[in-house]
Amino acid sequence: MDTRVEARDNHLKSADFFNTEKFKTLNFTSSSIKKLKENTYQISGELTMHGVSKEITLDAIYRGHQKNPANNKEAEAFQITGTLNRSDFNIGNDFPESLISNEVKIEANIEFIQQ
């Protein structure tokens, strides 16, 4: 977690929000991938975070195939985006939406490397 503000990062990691000491990981297991158009997909699956599991749908854009210059391995690149409701996962329940939005935006740039 990196918001570029150390005090905020530490607060988000605390029991007030993500409680990263107790919940060290989050997991997403896809159940389906649907092609919408060329290079654009919807990925549905179960997200487990903060001890709560919920079905979510994410958008994915295939960015292409290339060799990663950092490790010299072939990679498939994707941009993943979506939104979720933090209160669905019992995160930050003591903070009203008027102070902190319930809507959490997800953005990830990932690559898959064949092993």
Ordered domains of the chain (ranges, CATH): 24-113 (2.40.128.110)
d(C-alpha 75, C-alpha 67), whole Å? 6
Residue appearing with tokens 């990691």: 13
The tens digit of pLDDT for each residue in 3-57 reads 889 999 999 999 999 999 999 999 999 999 999 999 999 999 999 999 999 999 9
User: Whole-prediction pTM value?
Assistant: 0.82
